[in-house]
Amino acid sequence: MSILPIYLYGADVLRKKAKPVQKLDDSTIKLMYDLAETMHKANGIGLAATQVGDLRRMLVVDVGAIESGARDEDEGKPREYETESKVLVMINPELKLAEGTITMEEGCLSIPELRAEVDRPEAIQVKYRDVNFEESEITADGLVARVIQHEMDHLDGVMFVDHIGKTRRALLRSELKKIEKGEVDTSYPSISSVEV
């Protein structure tokens, strides 16, 4: 298992569309473990393969941490409590159903120290392949639904700042520029676009 560096806003790979995983092989299994370990190292509650520069449609969500009260805004900060490890691995996720709309604040390990309110469906149903590459389905709401949607976006090269209005985004422009120029410190290994 390895802790992989997380690509930061501005890196080209974050804008690419990831490709479906065809089969479960050693490299797919290694990626699952690496994603989970990298997410834990960064105290994230979700991570998409795209964020570590791997364009395979795979994401992980730390459901255990969310259930024990981890919040999205604590990403990148050390957790003050122990969480039971319960990682949801989703391969080739596909949105089957989305209901309602809710506004929640989001952050992202690829966009350190920046948060914004984003509107998204409140409840979702997603089809995916699990750790054994078997077809599975999940119905989720609350923070779990939010994180899944945020990570699924990464697989299509979309980031949460793309969902906020132009005016609000203009206010964030200088902070985004700083991240692009690598003028940001993260507590976890990261790669800014100037280092790519």
Give the nearest residue (CB) to Zn ion. Answer: 108
Q: Which of 122, 151, 180, 195 is catalytic?
A: 151
What CA–CA distance (Å, rounded) separates 151 from 48? 5
Give me the least distance between CB of 60 and Zn ion, in Å please: 12
Q: Measured from the CB of residue 22, what is the shortest distance to Zn ion in angstroms?
A: 25
Cβ nearer to Zn ion, comparing 21 with 159:
159
Q: Give min distance, CB of 150 to Zn ion, in A.
A: 5
Q: How many residues bind Zn ion (CB under 5 A)?
A: 1
Other CB atoms within 10 Å distance of the CB of residue 7 = 23
The region of 68-76, 101-109, 125-133, 175-183 touching Zn ion under the rule CB under 5 A is 101-109
Rounded to whole angstroms, how far apart are CA atoms 7 and 195?
10
Q: Say how many CA atoms lie within 13 Å of 22 toward its Cβ.
A: 0
58 makes contact with Zn ion (CB under 5 A): no
The reply to whether 84 belongs to the active site is: no
108 scored as a contact of Zn ion (CB under 5 A): yes
The residue (of 41 and 133) whose beta carbon lies closer to Zn ion is: 41
Type of residue numbered 151 = E
Residues of the shown chain interacting with Zn ion in the complex, contacts defined by CB under 5 A? 108
Which residues are part of the catalytic machinery?
151
